[in-house]
Amino acid sequence: MRQIDTRKVVLVGTGFVGMSYAYSLLNQGLAEELVLIDINKEKAIGEAMDLSHGVPYAPRHMTIYAGDYNDCKDADLVVITAGVAQKPGETRLDLLQRNKAIMVDIVESIMKSGFSGIILVASNPVDVMTYVAYKVSGLPAHRVFGSGTSLDSARLRYALSRYFEVDAHSVHAYVIGEHGDSEFVPWSNAFIGIKPVLDVISEHPEYDFADLDRIYVEVRDAAYEIIKRKQATYYGIGLSLAHITRVIFNNSNSIVPVSVYLEKPFCGVSDLYIGLPAVINRHGIKEIITFPMNQNDRERFVHSAAILQREISSLGL
């Protein structure tokens, strides 16, 4: 990892998600150098021009340009947002075959440069694509991870903050499992400040346990609802990726739910990427947070893992 004052990010995929991330990076002053790569080179050039015109109004200088895979050589972080966006009604897993070939191609090109930093994947289906990136890159698992359920957990915290009328920063709740239809919320591990959500509900007659199911469904189906109306989702994921970038560069050991490689079995599940809270710092994943789950949550986790496992097997890696 290079010095903190030369933070270099390469972004592969300058579509809605990639550029929302890039815009957040600039606004938050999270890197000194940002390289944009896209199969559509003209698009990358145009985006670099447009974004760099905002530099005088950004909190710190950032050098932004359209580049190529050689620029990955000395990058600290490569963020992959290339791919084909989810169509209305299409599940994330439907995207699998289309996006796998793209991911293999991209990661091989990154590694040919001599890259030795961290790869962060957002392309869907993100858990499976991150697995592809891990296998193809040959990098240690702690330096390859995916956005996983970071966006879903942000959606959950936002929904709970509105329901309980408390700042989202004081809501400690996680969506775990696949970033997709089988994701779930281990409610016994969700807190408002210091207090379990389940206790808050049982002590206050104005709240109802049934609302937790409604909130879960709202969170799980949020992407479908947004895509139905505006064809894509990107601001939320852009900010999630920027948050993860800050955590990496600040070496902050923050806990973020991301897609991590389970080397040791958790609930009997291993050798796959899946959304779990993890401690993240400048070297990548420092530790995956495992925790006790009730029987129902364990079953949901195993079910979610089985879906991912099936997809991974179908790739024939």
**Closest to ligand NAD by CB, 222 or 305:** 222
**Interface with ligand NAD by CB under 6 A: which residues?**
12-18, 38-40, 43, 81-83, 85-86, 99, 102, 105-106, 122-124, 126, 147, 151, 179, 232-234, 237
**Closest to ligand NAD by CB, 259 or 309:** 259
Determine whether 179 is an active site residue: yes
* Non-local CB neighbours of 117 within 8 Å, separated by 6+ positions: 1, 72, 75, 76, 77, 78, 143
Strand (E) or helix (H) holding 213? helix 209-220
Render 155-212 in DSSP notation, one character per residue: HHHHHHHHHHTS-GGGEE---BB-SSTT-B--GGG-EETTEEHHHHHHH-TT--HHHH
**Closest to ligand NAD by CB, 15 or 186:** 15
Residue given tokens 């815009």 in the structure block:
23
* Minimum CB–partner distance for residue 307 and ligand NAD (Å): 16
Q: What does the alpha-carbon distance between residue 66 and residue 134 come to, in Å, rounded to a whole number? A: 25
CB 157 within 8 A of CB 236: no
CB 98 within 8 A of CB 285: no
Tokens of 194: 């210091």
Task: Using CB positions, name the residue nearest to ligand NAD.
Answer: 15
**Closest to ligand NAD by CB, 11 or 139:** 11
**Closest to ligand NAD by CB, 50 or 299:** 50
Which of 169, 179, 283, 303 is flagged as catalytic?
179
* Minimum CB–partner distance for residue 277 and ligand NAD (Å): 16
* Minimum CB–partner distance for residue 193 and ligand NAD (Å): 27
* Minimum CB–partner distance for residue 140 and ligand NAD (Å): 22
* Minimum CB–partner distance for residue 144 and ligand NAD (Å): 15
CA 11 to chain centre: 14
Residue given tokens 């499992």 in the structure block:
177
Q: What does the alpha-carbon distance between residue 265 and residue 182 come to, in Å, rounded to a whole number? A: 19
Question: Residues with catalytic annotation?
Answer: 179
